[in-house]
Amino acid sequence: PDSCPALCQCLEAAKTVKCVNRNLTAVPPDLPSYVRNLFITGNRLARLPADAFPAQRLPELSALNLSGNHLRAVEAGALAALPALRQLDLSGNPLVSLSPQAFGEGGSPLEELALRGALRDQGVLFSLAATLQSGALRNLSRLELADNGLLLLPAGMFTALPALRQLDLSNNSLVGLRNVSFQGLGQLQSLNLSNNSLGVLRNSTLAQFRGLPALRRIGLGRNAWVCDCAIEDLVAWLKESDQVEGKESLTCAVPDKMLGKALLKINSLDLNCSVPVDLPSQLQTSYVFLGIVLALIGAIFLLVLYLNRKGIKKWMHNIRDACRDHMEGYHYRYEINADPRLTNLSSNSDV
């Protein structure tokens, strides 16, 4: 029962099985029951079905590495029969389907999940968010989402991860964190946001960072910081915070006049922000003022009409009489032109 699969290498003393670069198309069904560390990497599994790991066959499996297998689908229940699973690596797989029920209905003991380069498909990202929000992975302490080209994260994606200690979002294309909530991550110690496309961090995000008591390491390097008036809050926070690693090396990317300038050395004179600019409130004030002006103009116009109602009435009567006389002249000419006798009569009278 504990024989080693033909295309795998088994180390019973280390309770480890390695099936690496063997062109496997499915998980070997005859894995030894003693295995705790299983490496099935560099193969062609394509999909991980519900019966990939039969129930009660691998009671001690705690670390499972399935990276680089061309996996496209992880189906419902695929990982539900692994009661001791603590570490899972699905990195480097072109996933297009990740079932929210992949870890079963009752929750998973999983503590570490690596999905580096596996979430290029937008649908998979939302499936992962649904899985995390369902509470199925409440025991996660480490989540790696690097190298996925992510632009934005689904709202509330991390709200059901109370045990999370390390979150890696590096080497993506994140342009903002406005819809990302870090509330509830009371155990979070490390947050890596380096090598993204962040231009600024708003006050709401900075307030969340301040409210995380265990957060000691934040990576913000290699982002495209926009050094205009909106960055003042970020600069002030950097100067007072000891959470950011290597904050001295953070520099401006735009505008050109600020290129390469250290964020910690920026002051209000550099940004020319002596008068706060709040465009939305300015527009709102302008619209209100315009409405008041138009209302006054309308009221004055109606008042003028009321005060001159007699003159306007006389003017209207004069216009009506003039139009009537003009139309009668047209009517008379039409009758003359229509009757030859009247035409001759008119000619003779002219003579």
SS (H, E, C) 59-105: CCCCEEECCCCCCCEECCCCCCCCCCCCEEECCCCCCCEECCCCCCC
The CATH code that applies to domain 9-270 is: 3.80.10.10
Structure tokens at 308: 């001159």
Query: Domain extents for the chain?
Result: 9-270, 282-330
Q: What pLDDT score does 282 carry?
A: 61
Q: CB–CB of 166/143 below 8 Å?
A: yes
Per-residue confidence of the chain (351 residues) as pLDDT tens digits? 578 999 999 999 999 999 999 999 999 999 999 999 999 999 999 999 998 998 889 999 999 999 999 999 999 999 999 999 999 999 999 999 999 999 988 789 999 999 999 999 999 999 999 999 999 999 999 999 999 999 999 999 999 999 999 999 999 999 999 889 998 899 999 999 999 999 999 999 999 999 999 999 999 999 999 999 999 999 999 999 999 999 999 999 999 999 999 999 998 888 877 655 455 656 676 788 888 988 889 888 887 777 777 777 777 777 877 777 777 776 666 666 666 655 554 555 554
Q: What pLDDT score does 132 carry?
A: 95
Q: Which amino acid is at 187?
A: Q
Q: Is the pTM of this model over 0.85?
A: no
Query: pLDDT digit string (tens) for 325-344?
Result: 777 776 666 666 666 655 55
110-121 core/surface letters (b: 16 or more CB in 10 A; e: else): bbbbbbbbbbeb
Exposed, middle or buried: residue 168 (CB in 10 Å: 0-12, 13-18, 19+)? buried
Q: What pLDDT score does 192 carry?
A: 98
Q: Which amino acid is at 328?
A: E
Nearest 5°: the CA angle 164, 166, 172 is 120
92: number of Cβ within 10 Å: 19
Q: Which amino acid is at 180?
A: V
Q: What pLDDT score does 277 carry?
A: 47
